[in-house]
């Protein structure tokens, strides 16, 4: 019963964490889109977006991440056989990529705070692509867990490469479409 409760908490915290981090990415885009408004409206909107970003980060993303990490470690110690499984190696690779993504988002939040309402120097397209990286990581982590008994590590890398290639092709198509 304890194990099931920890698993449920782990899944719930994963959902909260990813929803929060995706919403922060959307708020980055909204902040960027304020460039077209008048100076006063831009200042007010940017202050509100930064307020929302900080609240979502501090109230959803960080607690969700800490609960996710804590319950994940507990689940690991309840089942130490995970170390011997190939899918778990793949999951650890994706988790290290997620921690890098998390750190990048955190640094962008600090950067936005330091701007004090001035223009965000990243393009909207780049912000969208970076937000899609989070979606890709969620998908890869989900696939590695759901397909854990049928996937070998080399298949996991092949699937990862195919998914990354798909995202690159979609990005190239969007750029090509935009240029027309």
The residues spanned by each domain of the chain are 2-179
Structure tokens at 106: 């955190």
Rounded to 10 degrees, the C-alpha dihedral 74/105/113/120 comes to -170
Residue 20 to residue 15: CA distance in whole angstroms: 8
Residue 178 to residue 96: CA distance in whole angstroms: 33
Per-residue pLDDT of the chain (180 residues; tens, 9 = 90+): 888 899 899 999 999 999 999 999 899 988 888 888 888 898 899 999 999 999 999 999 999 999 999 999 999 899 888 777 777 777 788 888 889 899 999 998 998 888 877 787 888 778 887 888 888 888 777 777 777 766 665 666 666 677 777 777 777 777 666 655
- pLDDT for 119 equals 80
What distances in angstroms separate CA 129 from CA 5, 11, 132, 174, one per listed residue? 35, 26, 5, 11
- pLDDT for 116 equals 79
CB distance 37 to 112 below 8 Å: no
CB distance 60 to 20 below 8 Å: yes
CB distance 153 to 86 below 8 Å: yes
- DSSP code per residue over 69-135: HHHHHHHHHH-GGGGG-HHHHHHHHHHHHHHHHHHHHHHHHHHHHHHTT----S-HHHHHHHHHHHH
Cβ within 8 Å of residue 155, ≥6 positions away: none
């Amino acid at each position: 019963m304890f194990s099931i409760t920890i698993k449920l908490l782990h899944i719930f915290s994963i959902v909260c964490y990813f929803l929060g981090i995706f919403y922060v990415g959307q708020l980055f885009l909204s902040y960027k889109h304020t460039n077209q408004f008048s100076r006063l409206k831009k200042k007010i909107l940017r202050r509100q977006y930064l307020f929302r970003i900080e609240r979502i980060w501090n109230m959803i993303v960080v607690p969700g991440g800490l609960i996710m990490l804590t319950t994940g470690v507990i689940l690991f110690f309840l089942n130490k056989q995970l170390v011997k499984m190939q899918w778990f190696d793949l999951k650890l690779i994706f988790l290290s990529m997620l921690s890098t993504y998390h750190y990048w988002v955190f640094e962008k939040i600090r950067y936005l705070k330091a701007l004090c309402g001035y223009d965000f120097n990243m393009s909207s397209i780049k912000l969208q692509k970076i937000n899609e990286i989070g979606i890709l990581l969620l998908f890869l982590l989900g696939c590695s867990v759901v397909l854990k008994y049928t996937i070998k590590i080399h298949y996991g890398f092949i699937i990862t490469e195919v998914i990354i290639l798909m995202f690159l092709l979609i990005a190239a198509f969007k750029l090509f479409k935009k240029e027309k």
